[in-house]
Amino acid sequence: MKYRIPHFFLILLTTWLVQVQLVQAAEPEPMVLTATAKGRSMEQAVEALSQAIVNHNYTFVRQQAMDSRLVPYEQEVRSVRLVYFCNFAKMNHALKLDPRATQMLPCRITLVETPSGVDLIAVNPAWVSQNMGNPALHAECETLKLDYLAILEEASL
Amino acid sequence: MKRCAIALALALSLSARAEPLIVSKAVDMRQAMDDITLAAANHDLVLVKLQPIDTALAKRGFENPHIRILFIGSESAVRWAEAAEPRLLNLLPLRLTLMQREGQMTVMSDDFSPWLKEFPDAPAHLMIEAWQAELKAMLDDFVRQ
């Protein structure tokens, strides 16, 4: 019994290290996930995105200008907007796994108006979690990435 | 036991790859907010938004994580990113996580290392380092308040 506890601890540690190594050795994740809503105005794109967010079981939190609160309201840049959203059960689960999950919270998509429409850009949560050394959180972020992709696809249809 | 210690040291060194800025001091959430507001003002930073995820979760029947998220920024950072490297807009406004644990308030930034790795060249790399340094100075100021 004297030696079993350290051995058990060592096996656990080795398993965890292998998982960490597997995550870090995996194909590098892209930094951002993107989609383009061609021919849409900013208002139309925000509306479509808000609907896609709700359709995928997330709650719309807020939208704001990129420079909100940094300049007077009337001087805010209208061509870049941030849309925040959240799924509270998923947020609760992620925070229990690792408080560093706040680095992906709340979920956010940046909308940039271009001459041909609106680009929708999100930081890939799996890119953020890839180097955190927490395989459980990374798995959660890979699922979150799929949700982002589904929302981006629907919003840009 | 020696092997366990070596393995643990290895594990810790691997985990140390992620490097958010972290400071802590013994204050409650309200005092921490006041101190951060003052520290931010001292460094020309503005509190953009407080995200009270502790009350948001508790209100919906989840366990209170005693965590809040604070977004902090400056107009100059936004204008610079718009002009020089729009992909960096995704990092703005900068985020701070406030965690209350047993009377201690820990404030943690996002980890800048993946961003620095993604943008290895100037001017983006230098700008991220400048934002990181600005945030560090502000957090040091927060600790001293």
| Inter-chain CB proximity B17 and A131 less than 8 Å | yes
> For chain B, what is the mean pLDDT?
88
Instruction: Write the DSSP symbol of residue A134.
Output: -
- Predicted pLDDT of residue A5: 62
Please answer whether residues A64 and A82 qualify as being in contact, where contact means their C-beta atoms are separated by less than 8 angstroms: yes
> Is residue A140's pLDDT more than 60?
yes
**Contact residues, chain A, for B67 at CB < 8 Å:** 95, 99, 102
- Candidates B85, B96, B97, B101, partner chain A, best to mutate (most A CBs within 10 A): B97
Mean pLDDT of A128-150: 96
ipTM: 0.85
**Contact residues, chain A, for B91 at CB < 8 Å:** 123
| Residues near A49 by beta carbon (within 8 Å), at least 6 away in sequence | A83, A109, A111, A120, A151, A155
Ordered domains of chain B (ranges, CATH): 19-144 (3.30.310.70)
Closest CA to B73 of B103, B41, B104, B105: B41
> Is residue B141's pLDDT more than 90?
yes
CATH 3.20.20.10 fits A4-155, yes or no: no
- Predicted pLDDT of residue A131: 85
* pLDDT tens string A10-56: 666 666 555 655 555 568 999 999 999 999 999 999 999 999 999 99
Of all residues in chain B, the one with the smallest CA distance to A24 is B14
- Predicted pLDDT of residue B8: 45
- Candidates A2, A9, A102, A141, partner chain B, best to mutate (most B CBs within 10 A): A102
Angle at A132 between CA A131 and CA A133, to 5 degrees: 95
- Predicted pLDDT of residue A24: 58
Share of chain A above pLDDT 90, in %: 82
- Predicted pLDDT of residue B145: 86
Band of residue A2 on the pLDDT scale cut at 50, 70, 90? low
Nearest to B14 among A31, A112, A133 (CB): A133
Axis-axis angle for helices A135-155, A88-97 (nearest 10):
150
Q: Which two tokens stand for residue A55?
A: 């359709």
Give bridge partners of residue A68 from the DSSP assignment: A71
> Is residue A137's pLDDT more than 90?
yes
**Contact residues, chain B, for A13 at CB < 8 Å:** 4, 7-8, 11
Q: Domain residues of chain A, as ranges?
A: 4-155
* pLDDT tens string B22-55: 999 999 999 999 999 999 999 999 999 999 999 9
The CA distance from B11 to the nearest CA of chain A, in Å, is 7
* pLDDT tens string A45-58: 999 999 999 999 99
- Predicted pLDDT of residue A84: 98
Q: Does the predicted TM-score (pTM) go above 0.95?
A: no
